Amino acid sequence: MSRQIRKTSNELLLTSERIGLGIAQRNLRIYSSSISALERSIGKLLGEYEVDGGIAPSILRSTLSNNEQRELETYLLSRVSGFGLKPDMERIRGHVAQLTRLDAIREQAYIEAMRIAPSSADLVESGLSTIARNTYNSKAQVIADVGNITGTFTRLDTQGVKVVLSTQWEGGNFSTRIWKNTDKLSSQLSEILGEQIITGQPLDTTVRNIRERYDVSRYEAMRLVRTETNYIHNQADLAVKKDFGITRYQFDAVMDGKTSDECNKLHGQVFLVKDAVVGINYPCMHPNCRSTTFDLLDGEEEYIRERPVLQEKIYDSQQMREDFQNGSDIEPINRLSEQLSLFT
């Protein structure tokens, strides 16, 4: 009886991960489009002023030429509309007239970074909704068929999806984390385009630093989607457990060379559904977690399976980096710096 539930649980996790990977890849394109736009802006606004491998501070600190003002106005107009706001041409003009070249490029960097968040949040929300709905509905079907149990609900409706998606863990949800991520990106771009560029460093060094900073954000975005995928998958699963009166579950880690130490320890342990706490005894346990749980029906024995010996216990940053490169069909990430050691 439980064999089929276990099999379904594993298959459903894989399905969710596949959907998650699709979202993650589409999400990276949003970042790519943002950085391309910023690079274009930098080239357009500063390229012609570069002399002897740098830009004179006086150029950076002077106001824009008429031509540059018109171009920036057009840019702002399109971005403001893109944010769904009504552009006020008068105000844009007045604002642009006061900007120095440095202000102008910093403002464009800010806008390019911040415009990632709404599109990214929409994309991730729609993917996670699919994951929640699919996991709940398929799991509910199996529990009803195999366990011959009738649940309070049989399908997750729009309201139910909303409830699953809005649950908070670690002080936020996917949306707040996406905004935090782009917020961080925008403030660091501002530093690169402030302190660094004013020292007269070559423009291509500035552009390289910007790309590196974007790479860090892209990596974080990838990890965020993977982690949220696991979280939402398991939350939808938890909702089925509760709606169908399942009282116990068994922790199940994907056992391979990448299994984290904490999931390895929890693997096979049985807990009460009412005691389930994310990050303590219920997945996800950590960023990039791939664990799930099996339902144990009344009177059912727990599933004993030999604990494999792991040669390498943790999924280290080098491995993550390689996976990221292999898993992404967007463009190779060559410049992930040592900052990635943060991600272990």
Query: Which residues of the chain form contacts with Zn ion (CB under 5 A)?
Result: 260, 263, 285, 289, 291
Residue 17 CB, shortest distance to Zn ion, in Å, is 13
Q: 296 has which bridge partners?
A: 248
Helix count (H) and strand count (E) of the chain?
12, 3
Nearer residue to Zn ion within complex by CB, 239 or 253: 253
As a whole number of angstroms, the distance between CA 18 and CA 275 comes to 29
Nearer residue to Zn ion within complex by CB, 161 or 278: 278
- Find all residues with CB under 8 Å of 103, minimum gap 6, and list them: none
Residue 260 CB, shortest distance to Zn ion, in Å, is 5
Which class for 47: exposed (0-12), middle (13-18), buried (19 or more C-beta within 10 A)?
A: exposed
Nearer residue to Zn ion within complex by CB, 252 or 295: 252
Nearer residue to Zn ion within complex by CB, 16 or 206: 16
Six token digits for residue 171:
């002080």
Nearer residue to Zn ion within complex by CB, 46 or 236: 236
Residue 343 CB, shortest distance to Zn ion, in Å, is 14
Residue 264 CB, shortest distance to Zn ion, in Å, is 8
As a whole number of angstroms, the distance between CA 39 and CA 199 comes to 19
As a whole number of angstroms, the distance between CA 111 and CA 109 comes to 5
Counting Cα atoms < 13 Å in the Cβ hemisphere of 305 gives 17
Nearer residue to Zn ion within complex by CB, 111 or 232: 232
For the residues of 169-213, what is the DSSP string, one character each?
A: BTTB-HHHHHHHHHHHHHHHHHHIIIIIHHTT--HHHHHHHHHHH
Residue 288 CB, shortest distance to Zn ion, in Å, is 8
Residue 86 Rama label (left phi>0; alpha psi -120 to 50; beta): beta
Nearer residue to Zn ion within complex by CB, 130 or 230: 230
Residue 293 CB, shortest distance to Zn ion, in Å, is 12
Residue 219 CB, shortest distance to Zn ion, in Å, is 18
